[in-house]
Amino acid sequence: MLEIAIMIEGQNGLTWPRWQNIVRFAEDLGFVGLYRSDHFTNSNPPDKESLEMWVSLTWLASNTKRIEFGPLVSPVSFRHPALTARMAAAVDDLSGGRLTLGLGAGWQEREHRHFGFDLLNLADRFDRFEEGLEVVTRLLKSDQPVFFEGKYFSLHEAILLPRPQRTGGPRILIGGIGPRRTLPLVARFADEWNCMFSTADAFFKLNLTLDDLLIHGERDPKSVRRSMMTGCYFGADDSAVQQKLQARGRTFEQLRQVGAIVGTPNQVKEQLLALEEVGLQRVMLQWLDLDDMEGLEALAKATNL
């Protein structure tokens, strides 16, 4: 059965009261997980409140009992991967093993320029990302001191203590749909692949590509969970859906074509069922209105949580 989680954009005005409210609703309503972006600010002005991601996840870990959670995704471009590994191991332990560590190369030019981080060109960015994955996974998985010498990162007799309570540390998630760089990295390093904004047909083809890469790398395709983060424009009736579409400035068909989940309860169920039938195991529905808890409750009922 397809698992339903929520994803929020933390740079869109997230404050402590909003975050604490969303966390409690997600836990109480039965969503399997709550995930959030990791950004300093938006790609375009105006700047809004943006609660620091790891601090917010630490609060969630201590104040929930059930839901899974994590970043979608945490870039290696503005945190050293050794620091990320240390924080992830600690937060996972604090939660009793509910963190999924989503990692990415970084993409948003504006926040990197504003805060003085070097985004790099695309090829170098992915080279750095690959090294970051090596650092994180070696530190989490090795009970012995780690040595690594790369262009961007290096380790010399590095070991994380205390060792993660979960063997190997938290699950590693890599998001993206690029067949040349991203999917091969998923096949090498990830416990979960997060496909973003894809139709059922597009997901099906990419899923087969990932299966082939895993088999070639002598990994069981079933060892990697398949999830998707995508937009959600849900309304209790046609009028409510149209209001959301007008606010977005897009039509029902335009959003459906890029893989967003759009419509009334029956229409949403139809889309989710189509994704489940092609192998999707978990969907993270992007909830843009951070104050709309009534809508979130209606979504939970519509998806039979």
Q: What mean pLDDT is reported for the chain?
A: 96
Task: Give the pLDDT confidence of 122-140 residue by residue, as tens digits.
Answer: 999 999 999 999 999 999 9
- pTM for the full predicted model: 0.96
Beta carbons of 19 and 298 less than 8 angstroms apart: no
The domain locations on the chain are: 3-302
- What pLDDT score does 305 carry? 65
Across 202-266, the runs of DSSP E, i.e. the strands, are: 225-234, 261-263
Per the CATH hierarchy, to which homologous superfamily does domain 3-302 belong? Luciferase-like domain (3.20.20.30)
Average pLDDT on 67-93 reads: 97
Task: Give the pLDDT confidence of 217-276 residue by residue, as tens digits.
Answer: 999 999 999 999 999 999 888 888 888 888 888 888 999 999 999 999 999 999 999 999
pLDDT at 31 over 90: yes
Question: Going by DSSP bridges, is the β-strand pair 146-149/154-158 parallel, antiparallel, or unpaired?
Answer: antiparallel
Calpha distance 90→162 (Å, rounded): 9
pLDDT at 7 over 90: yes
pLDDT at 304 over 90: no
Across the chain, the runs of DSSP E, i.e. the strands, are: 3-8, 33-36, 68-71, 74-75, 100-104, 146-149, 154-158, 171-175, 192-196, 225-234, 261-263, 282-286
